[in-house]
C-alpha cells in the first residue's frame, strides 16, 4: 500500500507527528515558497504581485484581487483566493491546513490566518495539528486579528481589530475580543 503524501494528509486534517518520515517535505516546500515570496514582497507592481501569488498558490489569482505586500505564506498551495479580495500590508497565512478566502473579503493589516497549531499535551506538542480556515463572502477581518485553525467566518461577518477567533462565526455577525 502506498503511503499518502504528507500534503494530502494535511489537507485532510490529519495530525502530523514530529517524527513523521515525510515531515522534512513541509520544510522543503516552505523554503521553495520563500523564494517566490521574497520576489513578491519586493515588487511594487500589482500584476507581478498577483502573478507571483498565483505561482505560490498554484491557482489563478484574479485581476480584481489587491495585495499590499509584504504577505508571508509558509506553503501557499493550500490557499484559495476568490475575486475582489483585498489583503492589506503585513499579513501572515500559515496554510498547511488550508485557507479559503471567498469573493469580496477584506483583510486588514497584520491579520494572521493560522490553519496550524500544536496539541496541548506536552508529550505530543511537537506534532502539528491543522484545521481549514474559511472566510466566506463579504467577510471583513480587522487589523491585527488572528483567526485560528478550523474556524469559519460567516458571510458578511466582521471580526473586530485585535481579536483572536478560535470558533466559528455565524453569517451576518460581528465579533470582537480575546477569549
- Residue 134 is a catalytic residue: no
Neighbours of 44 (CB within 10 A): 7
Catalytic residue of the set 72, 78, 118, 132: 118
Whole-angstrom Cα distance, residue 165 to residue 176? 8
The set of catalytic residues is: 118
Amino acid at each position: 500500500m502506498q503511503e499518502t503524501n504528507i500534503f494530502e494528509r494535511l489537507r485532510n486534517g490529519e495530525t502530523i507527528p514530529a517524527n513523521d518520515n515525510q515531515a522534512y517535505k513541509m520544510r522543503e516546500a516552505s523554503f521553495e515558497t520563500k523564494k517566490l515570496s521574497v520576489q513578491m514582497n519586493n515588487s511594487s507592481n500589482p500584476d507581478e504581485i498577483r502573478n507571483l501569488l498565483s505561482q505560490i498558490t498554484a491557482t489563478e489569482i484574479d485581476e480584481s484581487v489587491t495585495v499590499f505586500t509584504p504577505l508571508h505564506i509558509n506553503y501557499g498551495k493550500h490557499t484559495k483566493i476568490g475575486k475582489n479580495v483585498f489583503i492589506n500590508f503585513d499579513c501572515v497565512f500559515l496554510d498547511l491546513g488550508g485557507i479559503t478566502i471567498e469573493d469580496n473579503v477584506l483583510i486588514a493589516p497584520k491579520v494572521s490566518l493560522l490553519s496550524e497549531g500544536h496539541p496541548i499535551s506536552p508529550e505530543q506538542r511537537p506534532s502539528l495539528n491543522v484545521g481549514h480556515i474559511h472566510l466566506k463572502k463579504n467577510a471583513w477581518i480587522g487589523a491585527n486579528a488572528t483567526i485560528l485553525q478550523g474556524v469559519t467566518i460567516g458571510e458578511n461577518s466582521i471580526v473586530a481589530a485585535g481579536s483572536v477567533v478560535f470558533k466559528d462565526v455565524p453569517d451576518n455577525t460581528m465579533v470582537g475580543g480575546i477569549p
